[in-house]
Amino acid sequence: MKWISLIPVVAVGALLLFAATDFPEWGDPKSPASQSPVSSHFINNTGVDTEVPNMVTAVLADYRGFDTMFETVVVFIAGIAVLAILKGSGRRRRGPRTTYKVEAEPDLIVTNTVRLVVPVIQLFAFYVLAHGHVSPGGGFQGGVVMGASFILIALAWDLDHALVRMSLPRCIAIAAAGIIIYAGIGFLSMFLGGEFLDYAELERVLPVSREMARYHAMLGVEIGVGFTVTSIMFALYANLSSEGRLKGGL
């Protein structure tokens, strides 16, 4: 029966290869995508419009900020949905879990190393988040690194140890707070007279120019994204590693 599944695969492949012959030259600066007014506007005017050196951050958080808001919402949804799917379903424990018996005591070397490393990771997460305007990075990456530090705690000790620092209700609250920060900045600019997410209007409450208002609002937005991603990444791990029971080590 397996060969039947090859038919659609081969069909799609032929279709895609057929189209690939029509693509512009590899790396051609004159290709429509690279030459379009939209792309050139992003490259030429990001500095003028927002004063952010990293164009990707500027496009992500400002020009296409609405997309990014929903991207944050998607992360939020994933967290909520995983909680909803697994909550209360993990009481019947059976199957091969027992074959991976975890040692009762966390390892001394591991815990001490983690104790040393976690603050550095978290500091790096803040750096990635805050420095996203001028170097690769931003809310997502920073948030994921931050979430990873909590996962590391859960791996080195056990889940309870990490949940003391970041309980699940707190996770959801922080994730919701992230969206509130993001949407709140949008609302603020809406109430100040612009469109939703028109950060330039924030100049009326910030003592800076329109461009710098965009610059600073983007930082605020990235912090919101970082909140949501941090907590949801940890919540994902906590739920999946314990089948929603939220107890015990991996």
Q: According to CB under 8 A, which residues from 49 to 88 bind another protein?
A: 51-57, 59-60, 62-68, 70-71, 73-78, 80-88
- In whole angstroms, the minimum distance from the beta carbon of 20 to another protein comes to 4
Which one of 9, 104, 108, 109 is in contact with another protein (CB under 8 A)? 9
Nearer to another protein by Cβ, of 6 and 123: the residue is 6
Report in angstroms how near the CB of residue 205 gets to another protein at its nearest: 16
Q: Which of 109, 116, 149, 196: binder of another protein (CB under 8 A)? A: 196
Structure tokens at 111: 């815990």
Structure tokens at 8: 């659609």
Pair of tokens at residue 96:
């091969």
The SS3 assignment for 30 reads coil
Q: Are 235 and 83 in contact (CB under 8 A)?
A: yes
Instruction: Select the residue interacting with another protein from 153, 166, 233, 246 (CB under 8 A).
Output: 233
Q: Name which position in 114, 129, 144, 188 contacts another protein (CB under 8 A).
A: 144
| The two three-digit tokens of residue 244, written as one number | 């929603």
Spatial distance between the Cα atoms of 244 and 71, rounded to a whole number of angstroms = 24
Nearest one of 153, 130, 154 to 143, comparing CA atoms: 130
> For another protein, what does the binding mask look like between residues 100 and 129, x meaning CB under 8 A?
x---------------------------x-
Closest separation between CB of residue 166 and another protein, Å?
15
Least distance from another protein to the Cβ atom of residue 184, Å: 10
Distance CA 11, CA 8 (A): 5
Give the residue with the Cβ less far from another protein, 111 or 170: 170
Residues 118 and 63: their CA atoms lie apart, in Å, by 34
Round to whole Å and give the CA distance between 111 and 107: 6
